[in-house]
Amino acid sequence: MERKRVLVVDDEEPIRRLALQVLVDSGFEVHCAASAAEALQLVREHLFDVAVLDFLLPDMDGIRLHSEIRRMDAELADKTLFISGVDQSNESLRYYADSGGFLPKPFKIDELIAGVRALVGD
């Protein structure tokens, strides 16, 4: 059985390392990016089953990045789990829910795994 591919985008290295470790240990193939530019390059090069996107990135906010991903791969855009420690307004939470889901930082490891599994249909 082919492992599901997950794109993790977060400018905080400890979050990327943690997500990489727990998702690989859970049976996923994981690619990480520290910026929106890196993420878009990875989306051009690979097919992903799920994206985990930080809302605040140094070069682009998560909604704009998500819009760019939608133009490139609409299916991936519908399977996006946003993570953020700041923007949790009602409007943002509705946007996140319509895109796949939202985890507030700090999140629990099992919440991340469950969110990714729900989006891939496991």
32-46 pLDDT, tens digit per residue, is 999 999 999 999 999
Q: Which residues is 30 bridged to in the sheet?
A: 6
pLDDT bracket for residue 87 (50, 70, 90):
low
> pLDDT: is 100 or 25 the higher one?
25
Q: Which two tokens stand for residue 41?
A: 């390059």
Nearest to 99 by CA among 72, 60, 47, 62: 62
pLDDT value at position 2? 86
Helix, strand, or coil here: 33? Answer: strand
pLDDT value at position 58? 92
* Type of residue numbered 121: G
Kindly report, residue by residue over 63-75, the tens digit of the pLDDT. 899 999 999 999 9
Q: Which domains does the chain have, with CATH numbers?
A: 5-120 (3.40.50.2300)
Write the DSSP assignment of 48-66 as a string of letters. Answer: -SEEEEESB-SSSBHHHHH
**Category of 100 on φ-ψ map: left (φ > 0), alpha (ψ -120 to 50) or beta:** left
